[in-house]
Amino acid sequence: MKEALLSVRDLAVRFATPTGPVRAVDGVSFDLAEEETLALVGESGSGKSATCLALLRLLPAPAGRIERGQVLFRGRDLAALPERDLCRIRGREIAIVFQDPMTSLHPMLSIGRQLSEVAEVHLGLSRREARALAVRGLGEVGIPAPETRLANLPGELSGGQRQRVSIAMALLLRPKLLIADEPTTALDVTLQAEILELLTELRRRHGMAVVLVTHDLGLVAGTADRVLVLYAGRVVESAATDGLFRAPRHPYTLGLLESLPAVDGAPLQRLTPIPGEPPDLARLPGGCAFAPRCAFARERCTTAVPALEPLAGPPSERRSACFEVERLIRAESAP
Amino acid sequence: MTSLLAVERLSKVFRGRGRRALCAVDDVSFALERGESLGLVGESGSGKSTLARLVVGLLRPTSGGVRVDGVDLASFGRAEWRSYRRRVQMVFQDPNSSLDPRQTVRAIVEEPLVIQRLGKPRERRSRVLELLDAVGLPSRALALFPHEFSGGQRQRIGIARALALAPELLVCDEPVSALDVSIRAQILNLFQDLRERFGLAYLFISHDLAAVRAVSTRVAVMVLGRLVESAPTAELFATPAHPYAQALLSAVPRPDPELERTRRRVILVGEAPDPAAPPGGCAFHPRCPARTAVPERRCERERPSLLALSPGRAVACHLYPPLPPPGQEPVEETR
């Protein structure tokens, strides 16, 4: 394995809410190699977005804060870095794209101005040089005749084009790492495919690493090298993409895959949902947070929290946080 | 027998101050039979929601009409509207905005009965309990408020309210789009159960093709206010005929890494046109990968009509020759 570009160690994030503090992320660790795409998959409240905001210390202050843990990027701990130093890394070495491009675009500034500003602030380019860079950036994300669009306000563009502009802005300074938080969730299905294609192509061309945050397992299959599945703020499974889909090794992953309605194959009479409701972070059960919904759960699942551990057998990168994983494997291999 | 619902050459034009007129629904015709479930798919701005609002009578058509049991909504007086409300109900996307946060579940689900002056308080209470049971909520939910429930349970409350008057038709506008993956399958199963149990008909609008497949017997595809294809669900998913339907289906990411590496995708070129200025001819032609297969630039010049392609199936595309009149060339029954 290549040396890690990003190493997250025991990250925990706490949010103050009107009903008391909530731990949104609880002991998340992972490594990301250069040029690797890692997907963080989970449902609402799983901590996937809080994790990626925490990486860049973008949690909404003062409600959200990093409680503990390290975010080592090229050997420097972003969680402990002075704000001034962090500003040089944000946008320049690590960029972020959000679900709603209007979160990152100013509604009253032309897109040309916004893109140029990035180059002027970070690289100290002149207006003319920055403008040329902006034109190149827009062309690269497939905006036709970019020179003519520089004066447009974000509101004058379609949703798909706005997302292209926010990607152009994120990639303008050729970051080593792109964090993409549900980048296509707000888009129509056909546009989603186009934007994913674009991201994949740009990642290859520029040798970027990507952290892709999504609730959509289907989307992960075609884009990620490795997957972390999150539930109630913890990583419950970590695997190479192929292995995860071929043989899930956590009851929650298995449940997610089985509950997906398909568009191919014989029509199903009934879907197989995961029973119960997602957990309320303010009132987590003792033990494994998934236990109340889990078909494999036994006594100890309700009293102790299983750690994320390698599976028995030949060494692999595969990790699962489940006391009953052996039973799950046997059930899987049974006819 | 007359259809439960017959939409005939229905159009809705919105005219804003100083803006171009926008034809949100453009000459749409279809019929919906009792107990049938029609899925309506299309990108944002294709007029799906406007069509739903026309059907329930929340909007008045600009031209054309909606007939229920052969009677045009336009001819309805007060009494007819009142009885129509008992027959047709709506389920919305976001239970957070469609449920009154200050009402208890009992008051929410009971309200349609109160408005229609049905039953004494005691009878209404037992009806509400019956409804909660039908949607899988416990009786203790009665005295609780919407915020005390998860998103999936809130959607169940909205469905219970829609069922209160024992309607024949449920118009569902993106009813599972705001829900987590593991919960989505639960609610889709619930829709299936309710249809079987109460003989309901659905107009089920969603941009999620897999969800539509799970609950629909027939699917209609819209592009820029027009109906471009209508087919039995199994046929549409197995062999979509309209190039837009093909692109849409191919754009859905599959939860299978191997398949995703080899699968051929139809990537559309260009952005969806401005609905206020739709292109001439076929509304899909600027993005259509198949338009060069049609001679004499017919797609740019001539708007295709929705014509029968095989029994039960219709498509609006110049690629397909019209079906010969019955008796000339027998077409194999595929249903």
Q: One-letter amino acid identity for B60?
A: R
Between the alpha carbon of residue A22 and those of residues A40, A42, A208, A286, B275, the distances in Å are 20, 17, 33, 15, 44
| Closest Cα in chain A to B44 | A188
CB environment A197-216: b (16+ within 10 A), e (fewer): bbbeebbeeeebbbbbbbbb
Q: Tell me what pLDDT residue A265 has.
A: 86
B245, B306 contact by CB (below 8 A): no
A171, A202 contact by CB (below 8 A): yes
Answer whether A17 touches B (CB < 8 Å). no
A191-A196-A202-A203 Cα dihedral, nearest 10 degrees: 170
Q: Tell me what pLDDT residue B71 has.
A: 93
Mean pLDDT of chain A: 92
What are residue A70's phi and psi, to 5 degrees? -125, 150
Answer whether A257 touches B (CB < 8 Å). yes
Q: One-letter amino acid identity for A63?
A: A
A184, A192 contact by CB (below 8 A): yes
Q: Tell me what pLDDT residue B333 has.
A: 45
Count other C-beta atoms under 10 Å from residue B272's C-beta: 23
pLDDT above 50 (res A90): yes
Closest CB to A221: pick one of B210, B214, B257. Answer: B257
Q: Tell me what pLDDT residue A2 has.
A: 55
What angle, 0 to 180 degrees and rounded to 10, lies between the N-to-C axes of helices A127-140 and A111-123? 120
Contact A260 B233 (CB under 8 A): no
pLDDT digits (tens, 9 = 90+) for A247-269: 999 999 999 999 999 999 887 77
Contacts of the segment B320-325: beta carbons below 8 A, 24+ positions apart: B320/B241
- Which residues lie closer than 8 Å to B88 by C-beta, 6 or more apart? B55, B56, B57, B68, B167, B168, B169, B170, B171
Angle at A186 between CA A27 and CA B146, to 5 degrees: 70
Q: One-letter amino acid identity for B107?
A: A
Contact B186 A273 (CB under 8 A): yes
pLDDT above 60 (res A1): no
Provide the sign of the torsion angle of the four alpha carbons A49, A54, A55, A58, taken in this order: positive
Which ranges of chain B have pLDDT less than 50? 330-335
Cα distance from B16 to chain A (closest Cα, Å)? 17
Which 8-state DSSP code applies to residue B267? P
Mutation pick from A190, A258, A260, A294 vs chain B, by most beta carbons of B within 10 Å, is A190
Contacts of residue A215 in chain B, CB cutoff 8 Å? 180-181
Q: Tell me what pLDDT residue B96 has.
A: 82
Q: Tell me what pLDDT residue A190 has.
A: 87
Residue B16, CA atoms < 13 Å, CB-side half-sphere: 7
Contact A264 B184 (CB under 8 A): no
Contacts of residue A262 in chain B, CB cutoff 8 Å? 210, 213, 254
pLDDT above 50 (res A78): yes
Contact B181 A43 (CB under 8 A): yes
Instruction: Classify residue B291 as left (phi > 0), alpha (psi -120 to 50) or beta.
Output: alpha
Q: Tell me what pLDDT residue B328 has.
A: 53
Closest CB to B192: pick one of A160, A270, A277. Answer: A270
pLDDT digits (tens, 9 = 90+) for B64-118: 999 999 999 999 999 999 999 999 999 998 888 889 999 999 999 999 999 999 9
Residue B119, CA atoms < 13 Å, CB-side half-sphere: 15
Chain A / chain B CB contacts < 8 angstroms: 132
pLDDT band at A76 (very low <50, low <70, confident <90, very high): very high
Cα distance from B285 to chain A (closest Cα, Å)? 15
B215, B40 contact by CB (below 8 A): no
Q: Tell me what pLDDT residue B326 has.
A: 60
DSSP β-bridge partners for residue A320: A237, A309
Which 8-state DSSP code applies to residue A268? P
What is the DSSP secondary-structure string of B135-194?
TT--GGGGG--GGGS-HHHHHHHHHHHHHTT--SEEEEESTTTTS-HHHHHHHHHHHHHH
- Which residues lie closer than 8 Å to A33 by C-beta, 6 or more apart? A1, A2, A3, A4, A5, A209
A57, A82 contact by CB (below 8 A): no
B304, B290 contact by CB (below 8 A): no
Helix (H, G, I), strand (E, B) or coil at B282: coil
Q: Give dist(CA A130, CA A120) in Å, integer.
A: 6
Mean pLDDT of A262-277: 87
Q: Which tokens sit at A88? A: 């040089």
What is the DSSP secondary-structure string of B31-67?
EE-TT-EEEEEE-TTSSHHHHHHHHHTSS--SEEEEE
Task: Write out B100-117 in H/E/C secondary structure.
Answer: CCCCCHHHHHHHHHHHCC
Provide the sign of the torsion angle of the four alpha carbons B74, B79, B81, B83, taken in this order: negative
DSSP 3-state percent helix, strand, coil across chain B (nearest 5): 40, 20, 40
Burial degree of A124 (CB within 10 A; 0-12, 13-18, 19+)? exposed
Contact B185 A272 (CB under 8 A): yes
Q: Tell me what pLDDT residue B123 has.
A: 95
Tokens 């049938």 label which residue? Answer: B36
Q: Give dist(CA A272, CA A270) in Å, integer.
A: 7
B172, B203 contact by CB (below 8 A): yes
Q: Tell me what pLDDT residue B282 has.
A: 94
Query: Is the bond leading into B240 cis (omega within 30 degrees of zero)?
Result: no
Answer whether A268 touches B (CB < 8 Å). yes
Bigger pLDDT: A58 or B271? A58
Q: Tell me what pLDDT residue B318 has.
A: 95
Mean pLDDT of A114-126: 93
